[in-house]
Structure 1
Amino acid sequence: MTFTDDLKKENEDIFQMIFDHPFVQGIGKGELPKEAVEHYIKADFEFLNAFIQVYSLALSKSVNREDMAYFHEQIQFTLYDEVKPHLNFSEYIGVRFEDLQGHPLPPSGDHYIKHMLYHANMGTLAETLGALLPCPWTYLEIGQKLINKYQPTKEHPFYKWMHFYAESGKETEEMRKRLDVLAANSPVDEQNRIKDAFRKSCQLELAFWEMSLTCETWSGELAVIK
């Protein structure tokens, strides 16, 4: 059993809670409140901007060209390919994607990116990957499980979204392999920090879905849905 196999086993409870979340199940059913989808897109656009920054910091920690090329490719994937599921959601709510960019992050999203940036700035490359991995891994499983459960046709409003993530296994597998190699050569205290970073990212993934469904805002502010 690999290090990332252990991570998955230790966090299966959170993975299941994410899949069972009403927002995620709403994707499968093809029925979601439009204001919740809008809140999600606004937050996820800024979240992915931060994800790119974390990849850039990981690239700066790389010591060989293979790792540099990998993180460069992941930056390109996040910049250009992950626009596709956002466009699918934007079509569903009938709002231009460009109008959903540049909005402040709600508390849970803000917490999540600062958690990742902390490990990217203060921790090792392995810790950084530990903080990053739950995002692509949980989305891969969401896409695959939703397709298996709901068997969506091309007429399903979120058909493109589900298939995009269900077919992202290559990206997740590559990140897992890199983390397995790094963790195998890490002392126990570093492995524990990786595990802590991974679990907190899983918990923050769950919080992100809840934040979107409830249209979470900062205390003292009102949600403004255009």
Structure 2
Amino acid sequence: MTFSQSLRKEVDSIWEASFNHPFVKKLGEGTLDLASFRYYVLQDSYYLSHFAKKLGITKEEKDNFIPAPTAYAYTSHMYRAAYEGHLGDIIAAILPCYWLYYEIGEHLKECQPEEPIYNEWISAYGSDWFRTLVEEQITRLDTIAEKVTEADRKRMKQHFIISSQYEYSFWEMAYTLEKWPVDTDVKDVIG
């Protein structure tokens, strides 16, 4: 079993929870509230600038954007992996996003939601092009894992599992439109 296969097996219950999260299920059914999808795109705007344009997210919305607690924590986790580790740590921290999205795209491929942007999202993440991108990163991670110490692999595994947890939390954040518990002008500090 390759390193990536063992990681995928380790997070199976987390990914199954993501497949069954109301955000993902309603996206596939076409019943997801567009406000939740807009919020998701705003929070994930770095990766999803194309969808931000399609949804007509305005400059004002971007200027007033404040990352939700989950988005901020997830990004901080990735920065920590990059700061404290090496390329294997970075890939292990980022790969769950790509890989899980591809698997969700595959799970939802047969869905035909009426909302065109949901179909586009499903098509993008379930595409052959995206699968190739994921497979390249999996291969890169496995190659690195063969050359590093057991302690490095353990740390990479930890990053992968934590990122998988954050992926689930990201669906929940978007579905519930998560905000900071106390309203402040925090964008000047963390935006």
Trace 1:63-82 onto structure 2 (pairs within 5 A). Answer: 78=47, 82=48
TM-score normalized by the length of structure 2: 0.87
Residue 98 of structure 2: which of 130, 136, 139 is its match? 136
Match of 2:75 among 113, 132, 135: 113
| 2-structure distance, mates of 1:191, 1:169 | 24
Q: Say which of 165, 179, 183 aligns to 2:125.
A: 165
Q: Do structure 1's residue 211 and structure 2's residue 173 form an aligned pair? A: yes
Larger RCO (CA under 8 A, 6+ residues apart): 2
The 1-side partners of 2:94 and 2:84 are apart by 14
* Deviations 1:159-189, CA, capped at 9 Å, x for gaps: 1110001011011101001000000111111
Question: What is the letter of the counterpart of residue 124 of structure 2?
Answer: F
What are the equivalent positions in structure 2 for 1:25-174 lying under 5 Å apart? 25-45=25-45, 48=46, 78=47, 82-88=48-54, 90=55, 95-96=56-57, 98-102=59-63, 103-148=65-110, 150=111, 152=112, 156-167=116-127, 168-174=130-136
Cα deviation, residue 85, structure 1:
3.7
> What is the rounded CA distance, in whole Å, between the counterparts of 1:156 and 1:10 in structure 2?
34
Moved over 3 A (4+): 82-88, 95-100, 153-157
CA contact (8 A) 1:133 1:198 kept: yes
Q: 1:110 to 1:146 in 2, by over 3 A?
A: same
Q: Is there any run of 5+ residues in structure 2 with no aligned partner, and where?
A: 185-191
d(CA) in 2 for partners of 1:155, 1:27? 9
% identity of equivalent residues: 31
Tell me, which stretches of 5 or more residues in structure 1 are unaligned? 49-77
Contact 2:30 2:115 in 1 (8 A): no
Superposition deviation, residue 99 in structure 1: 4.7
| Deviation sequence 1:95-119 (CA, Å, 0-9, x none) | 4454542411000000000000011
Query: Alpha-carbon deviation of 1:201?
Result: 0.2
**Relative to 1, partners in 2 of residues 1:3 and 1:121: Cα closer, same or farther, differing over 3 Å?**
same
Aligned to 2:187: none
Q: Which amino acid aligns with 2:35?
A: E
Asked if 1:181 corresponds to 2:147, the answer is no
Alpha-carbon distance, 1:158 to partner: 1.4
| 2:7 match | 7
